Amino acid sequence: MSRLFLRIWLSFWSVLAVTFAAALAVDYALAVKRSQDMERLSPAALAASGAQALARGEAAGRLWLLREHNARPELGVLVIAPDGRELTGRAPAEAARALAEPHQGSPFPAEVDKTVGGRTWRFIFHRVHRLDFDAWDVLLQPWVLAGLVLSVSGLGSAWLARSLTGPIRRLQGRVRAIAEGDFADAAEPALAARRDELGALARDVDHMAARLQALIAAREAMLRDVSHELRAPLARLRASLDLAQRRGRADPAFARMDREIDRLEAMIAQILRFSRLQAAAQVAPQPLDLAELVAAAVDDARLEAAATGKTVALSSAGGLLIEADTDLARSALENVLRNALRFSRSGAGVDVRLDARGGFACVTVADRGPGVAEDRLAAIFEPFHGEGSGAGLGLAITRRVMALHGGWATAGNREGGGLAVTLGFPLARAPAPAGSLQSFALSRHT
């Protein structure tokens, strides 16, 4: 039998048992209260009420007796007529037995004579039970039972839901951490030690995390090894190419070979840089004025923009201080700028905006390129999954740099065509007033 099913089944019946026990306790408390209320009754007042009923006839007297019995079943009432018979037909000996009961500090038993229509009627009041406790009497109090069922079942359901959803939430957080690449946050030992389905699931998640971590580590090690191994033949190729060029063997293919070797070396450098960043657990940040860094990066992008007939416009809020590694932060920004310039249409511009939003200094780089399909926006930050404005490892490196700084990187298509990539750095202090917004427009060059 499923342990989780057994847990739910036992919890359900436990709630029912507690509800029933609470109902009996309430009924017992009501019976005790009724017993205490009996001690405050006046035999004379009760007899006077009965006499008023008898004044309307014996049938009215019997009806009065029935109402008294329903209202106070713990109180026994006998009405002896002037001729010695009991009004409801009970034996006269019952009156003697009732009067023989001990008082024990109670006003009952009591005997009261009342004259009705010139004849004397005798009223005898006695306790039928010291405490009238009937388990089913609670059904006569539906509002009490309904309240008990709602409160007890609500508390029981809340406890059951907490015991089930608590571990599920912790597992959910664990899976989300794994999805973000955080394998260090192991599941709680108490959760993995459970002997039910949730414990088995926790152990499976831990096994999955360990397996994924091993696979990713093996992939990164392979990338590093392959990159290092490729550098040696590339160096030999470049040496052979230089030797051929020095021997005067002019050939247009040599220039093409030189460019391709440069591209391969740049790609290998990116792979190695990405691997080092993936292995890094933290950075050594220092205070940095992000506005100055962005302005310098945009200024450096001017040469590339001028060569392709494009422009770069910068809107910057000054005084945005962050804690960051200067080289890594600049590298992340340059990767985004380089992609934007690469994919913007000839003659179009790239818009760069720096502002503060919710405790983050945000740099948005928007191009006028083809954009990216909506279902592929997240993939442009994955290594070797670039598309549109996010080819290669550049944006993967950018996202890793942002994660190491406690920031984030997002992308979205902009109106009118193009892609907008936003980098968010945590602010080190409150930003300067928005009135210090400055605009820089870099001249368009052909």
Judge whether residue 388 has pLDDT over 60.
no
Judge whether residue 365 has pLDDT over 90.
yes
Region 174-200 average pLDDT = 74
Region 132-151 average pLDDT = 57
Residue 384 binned pLDDT confidence (cut-offs 50, 70, 90): low
Region 336-365 average pLDDT = 88
Average pLDDT of the residues of the chain: 76
Contact between 173 and 143 (Cβ < 8 Å): no
Contact between 437 and 317 (Cβ < 8 Å): yes
Contacts with 136 (C-beta within 8 Å, 6 or more apart), sequence order: none
Kindly state the tokens that stand for 125: 């009041």
Judge whether residue 160 has pLDDT over 60.
yes
The whole-model pTM stands at 0.47
DSSP 429: S
d(Cα 271, Cα 263) in Å, to the nearest integer? Answer: 12
Q: What is the pLDDT of residues 43-74, one digit of tens each?
A: 888 889 989 999 998 889 889 988 888 887 77
Residue 142 binned pLDDT confidence (cut-offs 50, 70, 90): low
pLDDT computed for residue 6 by the predictor: 66
CA distances to 8, 148, 154, 159, 417 from 17, rounded to whole Å, are 14, 12, 14, 15, 66
Which domains are present in the chain? 39-136 (3.30.450), 225-279 (1.10.287.130), 286-441 (3.30.565.10)
Kindly report which listed range (103-112, 131-140, 329-338, 391-400) carries the lowest average pLDDT score: 131-140
pLDDT computed for residue 326 by the predictor: 85
Judge whether residue 336 has pLDDT over 70.
yes
Judge whether residue 136 has pLDDT over 50.
no
DSSP 280: -
* Paired strand residues for 126: 76
Sheet holding 119-127, edge to edge: 75-80, 119-127, 110-116
